[in-house]
Amino acid sequence: MSGTATGVGSYPGEDPSEALRVIFGEVPQLPHLPELPARGPGADMIGRTAGMLVDLPVRVEPSGWRFGDRPGRDNRRAADHLRHDLDVLEELLHGHDGPLKIQVCGPWTLAAAIELHNGQRTLRDPGAVRDLVASLAEGVSRHVADVRRAVPDATILLQLDEPGLPAVLAGRVPTASGLTRLRAVEAPVAEQGLRDVFEAAGDVFPLVHCCASDVPFGLLRGAGAKGISVDMRRVPRKDDDAVGEAIDAGVALFLGIVPGTDAPLPRLAKTAEPVRELWRRLGFPAATLGDQVVVTPACGLAGASPRYVRAALERCHETARMLHETDE
């Protein structure tokens, strides 16, 4: 993936065809199947993945997504969005024979977001969490198979979105009342949950996106992630050792260095400087930088204007190319 850039996941608007055309035009080396949350429930990160769950129907409540007794309108809407997106993917990228990234909400962010029948978060009930992980693993396996049928020659990268994982590990997830916090999940349990989903997906390149602070680099590597996607602004220097160990282990770093919402973009050299400075600080050869770093926006682009999205993806692509060419 030398000199490569890509998007994180979400994208503005409601037209998957237009979104994919822009993505494939601006970051053709590593396009991704975008999420379009502006379409409403079932197109958002939680709802889209909840619709993939096997034998665990969901519905929308005023408080958010909740498990239901039987599949209903909200399940059908999520499935319809995804089916349409795959049809568009097949139409536009059927002959694509390079890497293709897909995104699915990870089990721990999902467990912290979806409610049980009684209104409590799934994360509160270890048995319910185990059922969720197993259901998600089967659903992701089916989704990967559907993507393979749509784009049979592509090499699939499976990204688990886990913005809530640090809070889950630290015991910072609030209860339904908001008065207390749920008990922290032990690291080995969290690691196994991620591993179960990756293993069920089969022959994919596994990576995790976490745009929060306190990214658990070691845990993600232990779960089998070969790529870790972060917002560089939220990775403090205290994590240098963990980042360095990931680099030394050959993990691909998907570094978010371009703002995810409309903002003035600095000159190209300044955009690339945080990545160069990280490499210098950790003492790695500059020649390895372009081969191990994928440049991305800081997070999803759903809140950005279409014009800015094009500019941001173009800047990611230019930055990745410059990092690779100048460090050969």
pLDDT value of residue 326: 60
Residue 141 located in a structural domain? yes
DSSP state of 104: E
Indicate whether 111 belongs to any domain: yes
In a domain, 48, yes or no: yes
- The amino acid occupying position 190 is A
In a domain, 248, yes or no: no
Cα angle at 192 between 129 and 136, to 5 degrees?
A: 50
Q: What is the mean pLDDT of each run of 10 residues along the chain (328 residues)?
A: 86 96 95 96 95 96 92 93 96 93 98 95 97 98 97 97 98 90 97 98 97 95 98 93 95 96 94 94 88 94 96 96 74
> 10 by DSSP, 3-state: which?
strand
φ, ψ at 65 (rounded to 5°)? -85, 140
Classified as helix, coil or strand, 58 is strand
Residue 19's alpha-carbon distances to 23, 32, 36, 241, in angstroms, are: 6, 10, 9, 38
Tell me which residue range forms the domain holding 76: 40-225
220 in a domain, yes or no?
yes
Nearest to 257 by CA among 305, 293, 286: 293
Q: Does residue 213 fall inside a structural domain?
A: yes
Q: Which pLDDT does position 324 carry in this prediction? A: 82
Residue 244 lies in a domain: no
Q: Are 208 and 106 in contact (CB under 8 A)?
A: yes
Number of domains the chain contains? 1
| Whole-Å CA distances, 7 to 52, 102, 237 | 22, 10, 25
User: In the block, which residue shows the tokens 């207390």?
Assistant: 180
User: Is residue 126, in this structure, part of any structural domain at all?
Assistant: yes
The structure tokens 């039987």 sit at 70
Q: What is the pTM of this model?
A: 0.96
Looking at residue 136, what is its pLDDT?
A: 98
Alpha helical stretches, state H, the chain: 16-26, 45-50, 73-93, 107-113, 126-150, 165-170, 187-201, 217-222, 240-248, 268-282, 289-292, 306-326
